């Protein structure tokens, strides 16, 4: 059986491609105790975290960017997980925020189920390549039960390590 620690060891990069040199995620960008009750509240919460950490210049601008992107197509990948993302002139640097909500939110997910785990990607305008690479790397991992288990049940440190390893693999 593959344990969480063995899975994290597998993800550890041996030869990193330094595409993701900047620090896109740290412990202050992870909130495992959110208690929001709507999609709009989730977007506001994510934008507030980004603003508080100096990652964005305008809360409303980023919140609207997330809402607009969600209207194009759902970011709910299934298994209770969504990856809301936006490119915006208000984003100062590529950022990943992880939010675990204590209640499920209707999200129009691909599997039709509500969501309570969010991996938020925020990228400055003009950084499409980073945006797409981050999204591809993270969404591929959602097929692995070990990764989704870490997201849903893991500590801040485990989630941080798993996401950093995925981005640097």
Residues tagged active-site: 85
DSSP string for residues in 82-102: E--EEEETTB-S-EEEEEEEE
For 133, residues 6+ apart whose C-beta sits below 8 A from its C-beta are: 19, 20
| Burial class of residue 116 (count of CB atoms within 10 Å of its CB; 0-12, 13-18, 19+) | buried
Q: Which of these, 105, 14, 90, lies nearest to 47 by C-alpha position?
A: 90
d(CA 106, CA 37): 9
* Phi-psi domain of 108 (left: phi exceeds 0; alpha: psi -120 through 50; beta: other): left
Six token digits for residue 25: 């995620």
């Amino acid at each position: 059986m593959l344990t969480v620690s063995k899975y994290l060891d597998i993800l550890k990069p041996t030869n990193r491609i330094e595409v993701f040199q900047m620090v896109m995620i740290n412990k202050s960008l992870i909130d495992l105790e959110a208690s929001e009750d709507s999609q709009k509240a989730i977007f506001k919460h994510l934008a507030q975290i980004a603003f508080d950490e100096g990652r964005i210049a305008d809360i409303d601008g980023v919140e609207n960017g997330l809402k607009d992107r969600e209207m194009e197509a759902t970011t709910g990948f299934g298994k209770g997980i969504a990856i809301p993302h936006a490119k915006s002139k208000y984003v100062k640097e590529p950022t990943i925020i992880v939010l675990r909500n204590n209640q499920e939110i209707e999200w129009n997910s691909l599997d039709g189920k509500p969501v309570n785990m969010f991996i938020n990607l925020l990228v400055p305008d003009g950084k499409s390549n980073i945006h797409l690479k981050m999204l591809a790397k993270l969404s591929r991992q959602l097929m692995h039960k070990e990764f989704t288990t870490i997201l849903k049940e893991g500590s801040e440190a485990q989630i941080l390590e798993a996401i950093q390893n995925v981005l640097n693999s």
